[in-house]
Structure 1
Amino acid sequence: MQYQGVLRKMQTEHTDPINYYLIMGDDFIQMNQLIDKNVHIEFLKYECLACGENKKIYRQGYCYDDFFKVPQAADWIMKPELSKAHLDEEDRDLEYEKSVQLKPHIVYLANSSNVKVGVTRKSQVPTRWIDQGAHEAIEIVEVPNRYLAGITEVALKKHVADKTNWRKMLKNEIEDLNLKTYRDHLKQFIPEEAQKYFIIENDETHIHFPVLQYPEKLKTLNLDKTPAYEGLLKGIKGQYLLFDDNTVFNVRSWEGYVVRIEIL
């Protein structure tokens, strides 16, 4: 069975374990069904997620020109504290920026390899945690815009990590921690503007991933260097496909690449 299309991050469903879907043009693959099957992946060409042209992907699925034009790749995406829509100030596209920035946002703790603080739109809970490969997470504050979430994250990451150790996450070198205790300790460091949005009563969210075998040593599949690969899929975690030869493939890192996927 063959599928062909431009890679985008896998869609997820918060079930036990997580269900993964890879959209391929007008079709989709229910990825959990491929576990314990041989999968062939072949890079065919580029397709920028903005202009749709066969131009080399620069970052985040966009060609060089579009990466510096589209609002979806602006600095405030990675640094929410730079958001300005609440001031009615445009960065690249004020209408788009308002549609994203002026929505409820969550500052959270997630534990994938270590406890880290992060920001996401409320509508992206728990999708954001799943994409990060977190096995547990908890909300800290729910604020009305992205700017408040950003300055809260900046304040809290002085006291807790803001990065995931993806290697430990993929090897499943994890430990369960009491995130409520972490959250309550961090309350004192929340900026004054966001203190009233602290979530007093909530429980941890627990996430289980469809993995039969975790890699011991990691080999990252790079489609630029290895345009064709075949392996036995043993699991999916975060946005990674895990294969039996310790190869790991981060689907999200290769957005904008058109591939053919064959299930053998």
Structure 2
Amino acid sequence: MTDQPAAEGDGSEPLTLYRLHGCPFCERVVGWLDDHDVSYRSRFVAGEHSRRNEVARLAGTRSVPVLIDPNTGVTMPESAAILEYLAKTYGDGDSVPDLTTLEVVEFPASTHPTVGEPAPDFTRPLVTAESWGDASLSSIASAAGGALLVFYPLNWGGKSMYWWKEIAGRGWGDDADVDVVGIGVSQPFDHQRFIEARDLPYPLFSDPSNGVAAAYDVVHDLDGMAGVAEPRPAVFLVDADLTVEYAWVADEWPETPPYDDIEGAIRDR
């Protein structure tokens, strides 16, 4: 669990918000606090529920967000309840935000590699459930005859877990001359925990500095987290020589990968 300095506010004792990287409902609470200049500090929790003992002890739940207000003595889980409480306690007469829709964030234009262009090669730690070690994209693609490189958001976020479940459920890489490999900013040990917890059949590259994401022009700076970035969702299908056969890069957040189109590109190669 990590701390983040309190946001500036009106001078009252800052609230504490337990949150998870990439959690859209946590970000809704963060957005409300920022918009209303309410002082707060963030405490980021681990992705695994089993490692959220502090949250469980304080709030009786391992889910986030959880808000603690030292000014009123309130400890409250669940985003809808938190937003209603904040609107009544710190609001200026505005209504409670609607949680049925998520704010769409448009990404800037990207100069990522397109079909027929060479994909940048790279070497990074490649993580499996058993071990990790340096590997290159070219070595994977040449050995299998091709590779499907999946850039995805931070581990443990709902979107990441759902996307990998969908990819694994479709059996990509099982019968085609292509290996599926993910790449994200998490450290190797966190990738390994993620693979084990999700029973993920694919290896994951660790790219903590976002250097590979920058080479592919798919870096996304996270709102409200200065200096923190992740890859925007993107998928590149390359042949044995790293020539791009298919490319998809998200234009906005949240945006779901076009699974059927990607599957068709794998099938038709």
Q: How does the TM-score come out when normalised to structure 1?
A: 0.24
Would you tell me which structure has more strand in proportion to its own residues? 1
- With CA pairs under 8 Å and 6+ residues apart, which has the higher RCO, 1 or 2? 1
Q: How does the TM-score come out when normalised to structure 2?
A: 0.24
Larger-Rg structure = 2
